[in-house]
Structure 1
Amino acid sequence: MSKNVNIDWSNLGFSYIKTDFRYVSRWKDGSWDEGQLVEDNQLTISEASTALHYGQQCFEGLKAYRTKDGKIQLFRPDQNSKRINNSCRRILMPEIPEEKFIDACIKVVKANEHYVPPYGTGATLYIRPFVIGVGDNIGVKTAPEFIFCVFCIPVGPYFKGGLAPVNFIVSEYDRAAPYGTGGAKVGGNYAASLYPHEVAAKKGFADCIYLDPATHTKIEEVGAANFFGITKDNKFITPQSPSILPSITKYSLLYIAKEYLGMETEEGDVLIDNLDRFTEAGACGTAAVITPIGGIEYKGNLHVFHSETEVGPITKKLYDTLYGIQFGDVKAPEGWIVEVK
């Protein structure tokens, strides 16, 4: 570590901390510039930017992990690159070449290396790439210019008291429209989720469950995470729908369940009226890896899976395996880890 920072690693939360450098690249006249590391954490943009008026922006989230031997590694950044480009295509923004995307992430991590938490603290360096439409434009059309930026912040482990189940409630609101932007990581999806989340939180739940917008019969997402369930006959099942954000964590768990734990896996319909088929359930995403689901409340009834207090054995194995891969303690599949050198 090149420099000491005064951070209590064991008490880090998930909140903004200004680190030393961020990467900024601008798109103009048909191409991206080379991009550079800057110290200023303020962006100056036109008041007429499409990001401000028409929601033309998208973002990603990934992490850098410090291993036992002090190395720093990224987990599947190529998948974040593919997903940000999918989001960019969906809302008419220029794509970022994969090499540029991964190089930007590596540059930011190296420049802020002293903010990568020590191994064993459970803390990580969270990396936030984003693209916004900027420039002078007031018509409802794609922006004349764009900014691609990557910044990072050290964050604590999601579970302060260890892995513990939480309860969710089914929302009457929709997260996204059929054939809408549910499969893209755009800010509008998250803005739409703020109120339903608040409603769920006021009722004492961790977050809400969104059903499919067309029929309201199938589970789609759990707050800002993907759902999975373990059936009585040991199958790993997760919903499939074009309006679900394709979670990199979920696809990693699908692979781990099959290749590491020898389970059958399936992407398909998860009917809200047929939760009895699952002995365990969870939500998965970059922040928490896995959030075990104790129970789901639907139409006034709380359906409890394995337990409201204990984590199910398969959920625990999935969590330990993926966590181990990310921190370098379990052998990773080919191509999953990019070392920051």
Structure 2
Amino acid sequence: MSVFPTRIRWRSVWAAARRRAAAARCLQTRRATAPARTFATTPPQHGLDDVGAASLDWPRLGFDFQKTNGFVKHTWVNGKWDDGEWEPEPFLKLHVMSAAIHYGQGVYEGAKAHHCKDGSVRLWNIQANAHRMLEGCERMMMPAVPPEMFIRACEWCVAANRAYIPPYGTGGALYLRPYIFGHGPQLGLSAAPQFHFCVLAMPVSSYYAGGLQPIDVLVAHDADRAAPQGVGHVKASGNYGSDIRVSIDARAEGYPTVLYLDPKEKRYIEEFSVSNFIGIKDNTYVTPDSPTILRSATNDMLMDLAASDAFGMKVERRPVDVAELGDFREVAGCGTAVVMMGVKSITNQNTVHRYESIERVEALYNHYRAIQFGEKPDPFGWGTVCPPLADVAAA
């Protein structure tokens, strides 16, 4: 099946043509070659086949850094990717003039692997992450990470960190952070001479302490998440750096997250700090459409689930006027890190919109999570079993 639902259209024909032209230029100058599948591994601290052998306090992990057995690192130099290597310590040696440090030339993804009811470990919709990173590489003028290399690196990282996968029943997951960035000496503003593609893994539980428990949200009027015709549609590192001050100020006022409006008119809803916006009314699932929104793979999956026979909802991806905030019965956020978050209220200047229910949101969340953990059938093919390390190395 297609990685993305067929109903999701490109933003416009000319934009698609522009992407293809840019990709052609990128590939002409920075042709990416999929590496041979050789794997150098350092013996980890715990048994490779023992899920949860690290024996952490799984329900209390939160969403914080946790040292694991190591990470995968590929290097792009002389026009091609190397075979990759295993790094046991969470550090990189970089040139002080690396483009990622000075010019923000970097793109990352967020993915997860789950220990499932049947004992398997499954990567979750990893193909979507691989293809979204391709779009980010194109926009940020970086060499393409071949999807095969991307997925193999994720499998390698998961297999070598099985001890840190939260066991089934704890509600946690192994969070993956694939990341590509420019490094090497580069003073002038240009694409970097070298690149690293890394995949890190760490165990996590809920992003917000209350999980799905509804939170209060503040509409940001004095800041934008992304610029018109900027890089809001890709997962560029700088998109998140600009949100730090806004989010910290909002938390100081009692709002765990903020909701951004479009940067041009300040009229249309964009997204929350780290998640897409969902509004539900009249059995209709509504999510914003905008060229500056990062299209969430989780949102795409929830749209498919909402439209399926299990829920029978109407699904709309369209511009959403901020004036519609008062029309929704339920509001939620969604993304890889948060999965789903309920919204109790949204404060838009002097108006407070309150939402008394998350009934449909909770039903979608529970069904979605049941598929993630193998408790319900996966008719969409979102989960893929992660092979053991020996099989990854032999493939």
Amino acid aligned to 1:191: G
- Alignment counterpart, residue 288 of structure 1, candidates 335, 338, 351: 338
- Alignment counterpart, residue 267 of structure 1, candidates 311, 314, 317: 317
Partner SS for 1:184: coil
After superposition, residues 1-341 of structure 1 pair within 5 angstroms as 1-2=49-50, 4-158=53-207, 160-161=209-210, 163-172=212-221, 173-231=223-281, 233-259=282-308, 260-305=310-355, 307=356, 311-341=357-387
RMSD: 1.3
Partner SS for 2:59: helix
Stretches of 4+ moved more than 6 A in 1?
Answer: none
Amino acid aligned to 2:186: N
Task: Tell me by how many angstroms 1:321 deviates.
Answer: 1.3
Task: Tell me by how many angstroms 1:38 deviates.
Answer: 2.1
Question: For the structure 1 residues 327 and 159, does the alpha-carbon distance in structure 2 shift closer, same or farther, using more than 3 Å as the test?
Answer: farther
- Listed one character per residue, the Cα deviations across residues 277-316 of structure 1 (whole Å, up to 9, x for unaligned) are 21101010111211011111012221012x2xxx521101
Which residues of structure 1 form unaligned runs of 5+?
Answer: none
Partner SS for 2:242: helix
Task: Tell me by how many angstroms 1:160 deviates.
Answer: 4.6
Amino acid aligned to 2:385: E
Amino acid aligned to 2:363: K
Task: Tell me by how many angstroms 1:242 deviates.
Answer: 0.7
Q: Is the 8 A contact 2:275 2:338 kept in 1?
A: no
CA distance in 2, matches of 1:159, 1:87: 27
Amino acid aligned to 2:154: C
CA distance in 1, matches of 2:272, 2:258: 6
Q: Is the 8 A contact 1:11 1:156 kept in 2?
A: yes
CA distance in 2, matches of 1:51, 1:197: 23
Q: Is the 8 A contact 1:182 1:189 kept in 2?
A: yes
CA distance in 2, matches of 1:84, 1:8: 32
Give me the TM-score of the superposition, normalised by structure 2: 0.83
CA distance in 2, matches of 1:168, 1:243: 20
Partner SS for 1:278: coil
CA distance in 1, matches of 2:210, 2:265: 38
Give me the TM-score of the superposition, normalised by structure 1: 0.96
CA distance in 2, matches of 1:188, 1:333: 36
Which residues of structure 2 form unaligned runs of 5+?
Answer: 1-48, 388-395
Amino acid aligned to 2:375: D
CA distance in 2, matches of 1:77, 1:227: 22
CA distance in 1, matches of 2:220, 2:208: 24
Q: Is the 8 A contact 1:64 1:126 kept in 2?
A: yes
Task: Tell me by how many angstroms 1:79 deviates.
Answer: 0.3
CA distance in 1, matches of 2:349, 2:230: 27
Q: Is the 8 A contact 2:113 2:173 kept in 1?
A: yes
- Listed one character per residue, the Cα deviations across residues 120-146 of structure 1 (whole Å, up to 9, x for unaligned) are 111111011100101111110000100
- Listed one character per residue, the Cα deviations across residues 147-184 of structure 1 (whole Å, up to 9, x for unaligned) are 00001001123355452110101111110011100001
CA distance in 1, matches of 2:207, 2:376: 20
